[in-house]
Amino acid sequence: MSHTPDPDFAERVRASFALQSAMDLIKATLSTVEHGHVAIHLPHWSGVEQQHGFVHGGVVGMIADSAAGYAAMTMVPASASVLTVEYKMNLLAPAGGEHLLARGRVIRPGRTLIVTQAEVLAVQDGRETLCALMQQTIMVMHGKSEKG
């Protein structure tokens, strides 16, 4: 897609992420920002739990959605922004462990739509358990940079 890839994509992604209060609220941080691939780290802390002590499925969805959306953002021009059109997520196992890692990647970059995928891993003592799988559609808003 991007004929003129933006060399500063990582900086743009980090600046946008820093402005998301909701990511701060749940204590999520960016752990990887590469071309077509972004990972988000979430510590397992009491504030994000559901009634059984696992991380709430909605919070799992938040980091999956964000990781995949930012993966898409790494592939658009600096003058464009991205928007989640829709996503579908299967919860595969309870989100336990010490922290979660959401890994988003671009499956098909298009000029207007980008299709992505994310997996969320629960990590305990270095062992990873796949706890969610997401498929997502992102829209590219050309001429509307994130910084507006």
Indicate which single residue of 11, 14, 29, 58 sits in contact with a copy of itself (rule: CB under 8 A): 58
Q: Where are the alpha helices (DSSP H) in the chain?
A: 9-18, 21-25, 57-73
Cβ-based neighbours of 99, under 8 Å, separated by 6 or more: 41, 42, 43, 44, 122, 123
Stretch that binds a copy of itself, among 1-9, 30-38, 72-80, 81-89 (CB under 8 A): 81-89
d(CA 52, CA 26): 18
Q: What is the largest CA-CA distance in the chain?
A: 48
d(CA 26, CA 129): 21
Instruction: Write each residue from 127 to 146 as x if it is in contact with a copy of itself (CB under 8 A), else as -, in one continuous string.
Output: ---x--x-x-x-x------x
Instruction: Write each residue from 88 to 127 as x if it is in contact with a copy of itself (CB under 8 A), else as -, in one continuous string.
Output: xxxxxx-------------xx---xx-x-x----------
Q: Which residues make up the interface to a copy of itself (CB under 8 A)?
A: 16, 19-26, 46-52, 55-59, 61-63, 65-66, 83-93, 107-108, 112-113, 115, 117, 130, 133, 135, 137, 139, 146, 148
